Structure 1
Amino acid sequence: MAKVDEDRIAIRELVENWALWRDAGLWERFATLWHPVDGWMSATWFQGPANEFITRSREGFEAGVSILHFLGGHTCDVAGERAVAQTKMTINQRAAVDGVEVDVVCTGRFYDFLAVHHGVWKLVRRQPIYEKDRLDVVDPAATLALDAELLGRFPVGYRHLGYLQTKAGFTVKGGLPGLVGPAVQRLYDEGAEWLAGSPTPGTV
């Protein structure tokens, strides 16, 4: 098997382990996936170093925050000891909004910057791309009226996820990459620069 094929298999395994270990609360194993110096996570509710993301995720998990991830198609570009991967995903969050239990499903991609560290592929930066989302009440008999002003604060790709998370007490970042637009184009440019040898994985 060619080295680049071995690299792609290892990176796909890393991506799958990220979703499984994070959602199962296997925090020690989850920590091994990140670059120990440069690991960085961006999300709607968090932007910061990987070790802080792990701590915050663990606190939420233990407090009953329900966020799950499902993965789909995957592609990866490898350039020596660097790579950029994209993986289709959904983010599923269940919570109460104004006393009504709801599910939000957000569809998008994980856009990952990776590098080899001591012979092993590690995640340097993860930036989700948010393509579309929806909100459903869990009980079909329940009704929920959304605040149009609050919903309108967020881009179409994660407006319901941002709504739910704001109601749950999170501070949600605006302007994150969507299916099209300058934010996602900038991310693509940063990925190309990373593969070409940029000293940093874009603007984190």
Structure 2
Amino acid sequence: MNDVLIDRLAIRDLVENWAVWRDAGDWERFRGVWHDDGRMMATWFQGTADQFIAVSRKGFENGVRILHFLGGTSIDLSGVRAIAQTKMTISQRAAVEGVECDVVCTGRFYDFLEKRDGRWGVVLRQPIYEKDRLDPIDPTKAPKLDPELLARFPEGYRHLAYLQTGIGYEVKRDMPGLTGTEVEKLYERGRRWLAGGDL
């Protein structure tokens, strides 16, 4: 195999391991997908990889379940740098206005990756939130949502944000969606990264 194909396989393996190990609570191996300066951006958290692991672990131990399912991956390689975009869903279950519900958000993981000392790792993960939906576990019940609160959040993740706000998270309100200023800025950061620029 040529080096480019080996790098692409290593990146895909890393992306898949991220989802499996995080959702399984395999924190030691999960740390291995990040570089030491890795950072995570999410609706409910923005910070270093180590901080993300700590809060994810605490939530996992307290019964919080934020699960991920992956689809196809597109990888742009430039030497020891890469941008990987991976189709995904984020699923979370919790009580919403007293009714147990699932929220499923569809989008992409947009990963800034670098190969250091022969190992690919995540430098920054920024999800792109494209659309979401909320479903009561019991279809005979429906939560009565506060329309004013729901409208505070971008269309791509407003139900996820509503659920997360209801269980106590401070949700970031300017995450990138399918279109718009925020995702265009993200794409520009990706182009700079591949050209050798700083994040």
Q: Per-residue deviation at 1:2? A: 1.6
Amino acid at match of 2:67: L
Amino acid at match of 2:23: D
Say how many residue pairs are matched: 199
In 2: Cα distance, 1:20 partner to 1:117 partner: 23
In 1: Cα distance, 2:142 partner to 2:53 partner: 35
In 2: Cα distance, 1:117 partner to 1:49 partner: 18
Name the residue aligned to 1:2.
Answer: 2
Amino acid at match of 2:158: R
Q: Per-residue deviation at 1:143? A: 2.2
Residue aligned with 1:150, SS? helix
2:62 matched to 1:63? yes
Q: Per-residue deviation at 1:128? A: 0.1
Name the residue aligned to 1:197.
Answer: 196
Name the residue aligned to 1:166.
Answer: 165
Name the residue aligned to 1:21.
Answer: 21
Deviations 1:52-80 (A, max 9, x none): 00000000000000110000011101111
Contact kept in structure 1, 2:97 and 2:144, CA below 8 Å? no
Name the residue aligned to 1:88.
Answer: 87
Q: Per-residue deviation at 1:144? A: 1.1
Name the residue aligned to 1:140.
Answer: 139
Amino acid at match of 1:139: D
Amino acid at match of 2:20: L
Q: Per-residue deviation at 1:182? A: 0.7
In 1: Cα distance, 2:151 partner to 2:97 partner: 18
Q: Per-residue deviation at 1:98? A: 2.0
Gapped regions of structure 1 (runs ≥ 5): none
Name the residue aligned to 2:148.
Answer: 149
Residue aligned with 1:39, SS? strand
In 2: Cα distance, 1:196 partner to 1:141 partner: 53
Name the residue aligned to 2:49.
Answer: 50
Name the residue aligned to 1:73.
Answer: 72
Q: TM-score, normalised by structure 2?
A: 0.99
Residue aligned with 1:193, SS? helix
Name the residue aligned to 2:185.
Answer: 186
Amino acid at match of 1:98: E
List aligned pairs for 1:30-41, cutoff 5 A: 30-36=30-36, 38-41=37-40
Q: Per-residue deviation at 1:97? A: 1.3
Gapped regions of structure 2 (runs ≥ 5): none
Residue aligned with 2:172, SS? coil
Q: TM-score, normalised by structure 1?
A: 0.96
